[in-house]
Structure 1
Amino acid sequence: MEKSDLKYINYVKILKEELVPAMGCTEPIAIAYAAAVAREKLGHIPEKVIVEVSGNIIKNVKSVIVPNTDHLKGIEAAVAAGVIAGKSEKKLEVISKVTEEEKQKIKNYIESSTIEVKPSETKFVFYVQVNLFYKGSFVKVRIVNYHTNIVFIEKNGKVIYERKAEESKEEGLSDKKLLNIKDIIDFASTVEIKDIEDIISRQIRYNSKIAEEGLKNNYGANIGSVLLETYGDDIKVRAKAKAAAGSDARMNGCELPVIIISGSGNQGMTASLPVIEYAKELKVSKEKLYRALIISDLVTIHQKTGIGRLSAYCGAISAGAGSGAGIAYLNGGGYKEISHTIVNALSIVSGIVCDGAKASCAAKIAAGVDAGILGYHMYKNGQQFRGGDGIVKKGVEATISNIGKLAKEGMKETDKEIIKIMTEK
């Protein structure tokens, strides 16, 4: 692919937009970000907060620890952290710098202030509105579609910022409909390394660090450690263990940032850490690793374009298929090997549900990575799932399209039932 090609330029932009740092699970961080912006506009610590959120936000915030809060969980903790200690200019690292004094203030604020959470009946799957009140003043800040997409700010009845937002559109971001497997491989194979080096080297550095932290210490269900202790340290096990350990750390209060993909740190780690581990095993060059990671990252993003940021379909499955594609590339695979790896992987584990961010995400990640690895080895051994086998259709793009339909449309009722189960008392 030529550097002057519009696709080349767009693919670089997509990587820059998607591979960004975040501390903590991104849905509570989006709430903290909205709260920080609202507090700055209000100019005071609010006496009362009303948070209006879609069901998928409730699902993804309910059970996860908010970093830098001394292990507090939930929407109240996220909004309090943003109000007390948030620095909006840091976006998804909005609460990455919190003092011990501020941590105590966050706890005190939750105990002494009114924080009301309201489920919002909205067409937006991703919807956060934070309403702050102080004496006679109030501020509203609304985010839709993705984690930092502020579309509305109002203060004391006056709209001070507004932009049009459509359901499932990603205003202000590059068009991802140009993505396809053939062009992804072409781009990854020809991109000038200097154009993506900063992005990919940061991904390797950040995600490797949190994975090591997850293996060294006690977080969540310690899935990475369980895998290694149970099955040994074969490369297939290590690849799963690293991704799972990073997730366990992140879901359970680790205060290290990760590089996300499609708004998700779990997907960012699942797409990168298995590929990094295989690159070490195969002793490939740094350049080869970078190109393999580009394939994994963009394959993951390509799948998520049809699914959406939030869904009842577990995003780790998309990223597991992406990592399988990257591993196939590291082993010398081209379009045929990578395409069949993706189709095989998606055939194995599509249907695993997302029931929110929590410790079990690490185990689902292990399953997604395992399917990616198995998908590659199936094709290597002359085996494959074919068009007409269940949701598989002839051709990798047709199968990815089917997965998008399954996840976005077919699992809507599943999503509602999951949210209902999770919020029942």
Structure 2
Amino acid sequence: MKSSDSLYLQYLQILQEELIPAMGCTEPIAIAFGAAKACAVLGEFAQKVDLQVTANLIKNSKSVVVPNTGGLKGIVAATAAGIVAGDADEGLQVLSCVDSSRYNDIQDYLDSGKINVMLLDSEHTFDMIVTVYGVKSKATVQISRYHTNIVLITKDDEILFKQDLSDVSADANHTDRGCLSIQSILDFAQAVEIADIQDLLEQQITYNSQIADEGLKGEWGANIGATLMQVWGEDVKTRAKARASAGSDARMSGCELPVMIVTGSGNQGITVSVPVIEYAKELGVSHDTLLRALVVSNLVAVHLKSGIGWLSAYCGVVSAGAAAAAGIAWLHEADHEVINQTLINSLGSVSGIICDGAKPACASKIAASVEAGILGFHMAKQGRHFKDGEGIVKGDIESTIANVAKLGRDGMRETDKVIIDMMLD
């Protein structure tokens, strides 16, 4: 693959679209972003807010601490923080500039009863409509499909911006993920000019390593990462699982450090990168080799997740754990066939772990998914793999990925409804 090829340029663009900094769990942060953006359009302080959100947004927002709020949790807290102190120009770092002097203001607004949350019935699992009311005016912002994708802006019923939700191609901000395949991802990782990806991946290494460090140092969540280290020691496999889990421990509990997300998720961004970083240290590979391995893990994660959708009952860290294993296999100079079988083994083991919302337990699911990926790699190295027709596994990697996508997107749709009913009961 040459740097002038259209596919090369598409893959670079996908990395740039996917790897973006975010502070806090991305669903409540997206709500804070929408609230802050609506206030910016309104041009005055919001006297009242109507927030319409899909059930999946409720599921992924209700149990996590919103950073820079003094420990507040959930949808209403995220909305209040966005209204009172958010800066929409910062995107998914909308609350990054909020200091402790605003905590009481956020709490007061939350307690005022000015925020009305309603369930939004939408064909899109990710969809929200934020309407804010001033003294004489009102403004509305709708965000759909993914966290910063504004599709509608109105002020006093005048449409200022509108995107046709029925036309996926109208989304000029996202390159078509249909160009991805495991073979071409591996070819791209081998061919890519380091200068083209270095700044982006250096930021991923820095941010995601820092939050992993913090997760191990502090008392965050259920301390899954620290427990793993205390019980099983500090060999590379345990470090890979523990440090990735620790990053999630901190993030789900309101840590104010940013992470580099992938497929719209900080947990998945941590999972695809931190285990690969740990194995690179253990193996003593060159820094360029680490960067190429991260290209593999990030793009494989995007490929695995794109057919499922961003929000589903299928836990996204399963895909991320498998993708991390592909990156680890790359570090070991595995050939294409071993990497393909690594992915099949991993997906054949743990596909079906449910997503029941963002919360401290995500860290344990990361540990399980990374474990499955590493096991899958060692199986593949020894020529052992799951075979065509064994459950959802097919004889080639792309067909297996298609089956997993169908399972997560279609097969688990009713599961998603049942989980949401349980969580809202």
Under TM normalisation by the shorter chain, which class is it?
Answer: over 0.9
**1:167, distance to aligned residue in structure 2 (A):** 7.9
Structure 1: distance between partners of 2:158 and 2:128? 19
Output the amino acid matched with 1:165.
L
What is aligned with 2:363?
Answer: 362
1:296·1:325 contact (CA, 8 Å) conserved in 2?
Answer: yes
Structure 1: distance between partners of 2:166 and 2:300? 25
What is aligned with 1:45?
Answer: 45
1:123·1:167 contact (CA, 8 Å) conserved in 2?
Answer: no
Verify: 1:153 aligned to 2:181, yes or no: no
Output the amino acid matched with 1:354.
C
1:124·1:167 contact (CA, 8 Å) conserved in 2?
Answer: no
Q: Deviations over 1:316-353 (max 9, x none)?
A: 00000000000011011021011000000000000000
Structure 2: distance between partners of 1:386 and 1:224? 33
Where 2:81 maps in the other structure, the secondary structure is helix
Q: Deviations over 1:152-184 (max 9, x none)?
A: 011111111111123877822111100000000
- Structure-2 change in CA distance of 1:167 and 1:405 (3 Å): farther
Output the amino acid matched with 1:190.
A
What is aligned with 2:66?
Answer: 66
1:168·1:308 contact (CA, 8 Å) conserved in 2?
Answer: no
Unpaired runs of 5+ residues, structure 2, are none
2:69·2:100 contact (CA, 8 Å) conserved in 1?
Answer: no
2:338·2:380 contact (CA, 8 Å) conserved in 1?
Answer: yes
Output the amino acid matched with 1:30.
A
Structure 2: distance between partners of 1:96 and 1:56? 25
2:70·2:100 contact (CA, 8 Å) conserved in 1?
Answer: no
Structure 2: distance between partners of 1:169 and 1:293? 28
Where 1:33 maps in the other structure, the secondary structure is helix
2:24·2:251 contact (CA, 8 Å) conserved in 1?
Answer: yes
What is aligned with 1:415?
Answer: 416
**1:236, distance to aligned residue in structure 2 (A):** 0.6
Output the amino acid matched with 1:287.
D
What is aligned with 2:342?
Answer: 341
Across the two proteins, how many residue pairs are aligned to each other?
424
Output the amino acid matched with 2:352.
G
Output the amino acid matched with 1:41.
V
**1:398, distance to aligned residue in structure 2 (A):** 0.3
1:93-172 aligned at under 5 Å gives the runs 93-166=93-166, 171-172=171-172
What is aligned with 1:12?
Answer: 12
Structure 1: distance between partners of 2:47 and 2:247? 37
Structure 2: distance between partners of 1:170 and 1:257? 30
- Structure-2 change in CA distance of 1:211 and 1:168 (3 Å): farther
1:3-402 aligned at under 5 Å gives the runs 3-166=3-166, 171-172=171-172, 173-402=174-403
**1:101, distance to aligned residue in structure 2 (A):** 2.0
1:292·1:330 contact (CA, 8 Å) conserved in 2?
Answer: yes
Unpaired runs of 5+ residues, structure 1, are none
Where 2:360 maps in the other structure, the secondary structure is coil
**1:107, distance to aligned residue in structure 2 (A):** 0.5
Output the amino acid matched with 2:339.
I
**1:285, distance to aligned residue in structure 2 (A):** 0.2
Structure 2: distance between partners of 1:210 and 1:387? 40
**1:44, distance to aligned residue in structure 2 (A):** 1.7
Q: Deviations over 1:45-76 (max 9, x none)?
A: 21111110001000000101100001101111
Structure 2: distance between partners of 1:251 and 1:346? 25
Output the amino acid matched with 2:409.
K
Structure 2: distance between partners of 1:390 and 1:319? 21
Structure 1: distance between partners of 2:420 and 2:169? 23
1:137·1:155 contact (CA, 8 Å) conserved in 2?
Answer: yes
2:276·2:294 contact (CA, 8 Å) conserved in 1?
Answer: yes
2:61·2:358 contact (CA, 8 Å) conserved in 1?
Answer: yes
Q: Deviations over 1:225-260 (max 9, x none)?
A: 000111111111000001000001000010000000
**1:137, distance to aligned residue in structure 2 (A):** 1.6
Structure 1: distance between partners of 2:317 and 2:253? 17
Output the amino acid matched with 1:305.
S
**1:381, distance to aligned residue in structure 2 (A):** 2.1
Output the amino acid matched with 2:24.
G
* Identical aligned residues as a percent: 52
Structure 2: distance between partners of 1:52 and 1:169? 25
Structure 1: distance between partners of 2:412 and 2:52? 23
2:58·2:75 contact (CA, 8 Å) conserved in 1?
Answer: yes
Structure 2: distance between partners of 1:117 and 1:422? 16
Where 1:307 maps in the other structure, the secondary structure is coil
**1:382, distance to aligned residue in structure 2 (A):** 2.3
**1:133, distance to aligned residue in structure 2 (A):** 1.2
Output the amino acid matched with 1:205.
T
Output the amino acid matched with 1:109.
Y
